[in-house]
Structure 1
Amino acid sequence: MLSGQALTTAMGILPHTNLQDAQRLALSLDIPFWPQLPHFRFREDMYAQFAELFPGIIIDEAKKNIVFSHQRFAQEFDEYLENSAIPEYFALAEESSAAFNGFLAKNLSKYPMIHGQIVGPISFGLKICDEERKPMIYDDFVREILYDFLQHKITWQYNQLKQVHPNPFVWLDEPGLEMIFNSLSAYTYEVAFVEYGAFLSKLPGPKGVHLCGNPDWSFLLNAKLDILSVDAFSWGHILVRYVDEVKEFLNRGGIISWGVVPTLTSELTSETANSLTDRLLKLWEFLNQHGLDDDLLYDHSWLAPSRCCLINGDGTASVDHSYALLREISENLRKR
């Protein structure tokens, strides 16, 4: 069973362009990660980073654009099938990740866990569109291959992490889950739930999802995840209303990574470690009133920044500050 106890971690995307500074920040948490650095180069964008070698994908670095071509998919599909049994075919290219190999080379033995990350299939499939600007997720066969492709990518990454640490995991970054069940989406809840569950069942190690939006929380809490990372600063008050699902999720050993520290400068300037600790404890108080005691919550909770942030005018200063507050909040809870 995973251990909670206010361990600190974060999603992988950082605004840094200096690799050493990004690595140092990632390693300052209890559960470190290899950083994704989209400001360093476009291929570090989470969609571009994992799109390489998917049949039919065209990455235009000059225009910072990714599109899907059905014609190219048909041309490249046989080659994909031939190579899909070769684990190294799904390796993360060094040109797409400045930090990955350096992270693996670190001595990570003092950490209880380490993690990697990858764009989730729903977000990838909704974001990347075909020649008619139709999201590729709406093509049943393409979607089946997308799930297969990302399963292989995750397995390769997990196995690399496993070589340097006994307790790794690779979580899915899924901002698209906020959009998929609205009235405009043609990918229904029922179909997605079955397919996503089948996809998760094939993944190695603990299964986690991070998103900073406000999705249908019942979908994720019932999806047989081990880790759910949420923007609790913005949406925690809604998550805790799903009392029965949260209770069942925690009772079966799940971890909620509470993204309680904002990373946006305008939100961060009015907060302190104590104010954010109180904010989290108010969410826990609501759950206390519905039969979840603090011991259970503490034992099944991690702490994280609320979201990655690439738009602050101060470069990396606000994100660096949010990580410092995160460590203070963790210390507050452990003393309590």
Structure 2
Amino acid sequence: MKFSPPIKATVIGSFPHTEAEAALRLIMEYVPQIPAWPQLPFYPEEQMLRQYLEGMPGLFTKEGNKIFFDTSHPRFEAELFGFYQNYLNALESPRIPFDHPLGISPRYSRGFYSFYRKLEQGSYRPLALKGQITGPITLATALTDQNGKSVYYDLQLREVVVKALTIKAKWQIHQLRVFGVPIIIFIDEPSLSAYGSSAFLGVTEGEVKNDLTEIIEQIHLEQGIAGIHCCENTDWSILLKTNLDILSFDAYSFFDRLILYASELKDFIARGGVLAWGIIPTGNEDDIKRETIDSLVRRWREYLNTLEERLGVAPNDIARQSLITPSCGMGSLTPELAKRVLELLRGVSELLQREYFNG
């Protein structure tokens, strides 16, 4: 689906609040045009490595609440068979039901259900809606089996992770598309910052692309818009060579690294790809307090001029294919700092819209 979001604002996902309604009020106030459902990592079930595990086979919890797969357990084969039955059922379903085993239950996503109820009231008419999943590389490299081996290196378990996340993405689209606007799903891949390091030995470019592409293709099959978010530096060429629609990056800290991939960036923009500029800092309290709307707009203009010089693309064309976002999620901030980030976000987006599109 072609998507042109001229410098509109949205958020990455996580909020520091303990109540979904409190986070949702901020979302609807500051990013009403492209709101996202809030993740609340205050609750263990909503943390990045847990929120999307429901329905996967063979999961157990060790002391210290560490979750792992146990493929040696007598129930594993039966659970694996049941998992694939549920996967195929969801894959073929015209609308995956709310309570599907591979969906996301209210316990694991208070924000999604509050978001849905708010939209049902009909008082908002957004341009698009945003959801998110933890990416398959991040999840599979972090989870382990009963022997402490990373799940990523077990082809059977890695396939389970990829297919489960695929259904989590489709499930969100199936629920949210009843509101009649485009649905954006971000695949959050913070661990890709370690690609090429000793921590990722044996992880190949082809495998990364294949795992991401499997999910992206299913998002596209549902007429959804697929984004990938990486909040640190990585080998951006890998992501830009996939069929993603939106590249979400920490522009505040890593624009100078992204521009090294000028050729791939130019091709991405030429095919209609959208850049989600994480220009609002979230990683450092001093940055959040020091920066202003004007200082961040100046920074963005400098980056835009660099793109024009390096890629030969007109600023207005880039602006037409740009989103403005925080550099990362806000789950680790205080509620006060999160609100400050949102104030900067709205202000930067609105000022740039007036400047480039008289909006």
Give the shorter-chain TM-score range.
Answer: over 0.9
User: Using the alignment, how far apart are the partners of 2:332 and 2:128 within structure 1?
Assistant: 29
Matching residue within 262, 286, 292 for 2:313: 292
User: Using the alignment, how far apart are the partners of 1:184 and 1:34 within structure 2?
Assistant: 32
Amino acid across the alignment from 1:170: I
Matching residue within 144, 156, 172 for 2:187: 172
User: Using the alignment, how far apart are the partners of 1:111 and 1:200 within structure 2?
Assistant: 23
Q: Does the Cα contact within 8 Å between 1:193 and 1:223 map onto a contact in 2?
A: yes
Q: Does the Cα contact within 8 Å between 1:218 and 1:242 map onto a contact in 2?
A: yes
User: Using the alignment, how far apart are the partners of 2:211 and 2:132 within structure 1?
Assistant: 20
User: Using the alignment, how far apart are the partners of 1:247 and 1:160 within structure 2?
Assistant: 35
- Find the residue that maps to 1:241 and give its secondary structure: helix
Map 1:156-195 to 2 at 5 A. 156-185=171-200, 186-195=202-211
Q: Deviations over 1:66-97 (max 9, x none)?
A: 22222244352122123323332212111111
Partner of 2:34: 31
1:99 to 1:184, Cα distance in 2 relative to 1, 3 A = closer
Partner of 1:125: 140
Map 1:242-257 to 2 at 5 A. 242-257=261-276
Give ranges in structure 2 of 5+ residues lacking alignment.
91-99
Map 1:190-229 to 2 at 5 A. 190-203=206-219, 204=222, 205-229=224-248
Q: How many Å apart are 1:270 and its aligned residue?
A: 1.6
User: Using the alignment, how far apart are the partners of 1:309 and 1:244 within structure 2?
Assistant: 32
Matching residue within 48, 51, 60 for 1:49: 51
User: Using the alignment, how far apart are the partners of 1:59 and 1:170 within structure 2?
Assistant: 29
Percent identity over paired residues:
30
User: Using the alignment, how far apart are the partners of 2:24 and 2:195 within structure 1?
Assistant: 33
1:228 to 1:59, Cα distance in 2 relative to 1, 3 A = farther
Matching residue within 260, 266, 273 for 1:241: 260
Q: Does the Cα contact within 8 Å between 2:182 and 2:225 map onto a contact in 1?
A: no
User: Using the alignment, how far apart are the partners of 2:87 and 2:242 within structure 1?
Assistant: 27
- Find the residue that maps to 1:2 and give its secondary structure: coil
User: Using the alignment, how far apart are the partners of 2:323 and 2:22 within structure 1?
Assistant: 23
Amino acid across the alignment from 1:325: L
User: Using the alignment, how far apart are the partners of 1:102 and 1:125 within structure 2?
Assistant: 29
Partner of 2:322: 301
Q: Does the Cα contact within 8 Å between 2:21 and 2:114 map onto a contact in 1?
A: no
Q: Deviations over 1:170-199 (max 9, x none)?
A: 211111211233244222112322343244
User: Using the alignment, how far apart are the partners of 1:182 and 1:108 within structure 2?
Assistant: 48
Matching residue within 107, 111, 114 for 2:129: 114
Partner of 1:258: 277
User: Using the alignment, how far apart are the partners of 1:212 and 1:311 within structure 2?
Assistant: 14
User: Using the alignment, how far apart are the partners of 1:225 and 1:168 within structure 2?
Assistant: 14
- Find the residue that maps to 1:287 and give its secondary structure: helix
2:289 pairs with 1:269: yes
Partner of 1:311: 332
Give ranges in structure 1 of 5+ residues lacking alignment.
none
Q: Does the Cα contact within 8 Å between 2:166 and 2:214 map onto a contact in 1?
A: no
Amino acid across the alignment from 1:171: F
Number of corresponding residues: 332
- Find the residue that maps to 1:279 and give its secondary structure: helix
2:79 pairs with 1:76: yes
Partner of 2:89: 86
Q: Does the Cα contact within 8 Å between 1:35 and 1:99 map onto a contact in 2?
A: yes
Amino acid across the alignment from 2:39: Q
Partner of 1:328: 347
1:64 to 1:276, Cα distance in 2 relative to 1, 3 A = farther
Q: How many Å apart are 1:206 and its aligned residue?
A: 1.1
Amino acid across the alignment from 1:114: L
Q: Does the Cα contact within 8 Å between 1:240 and 1:283 map onto a contact in 2?
A: no
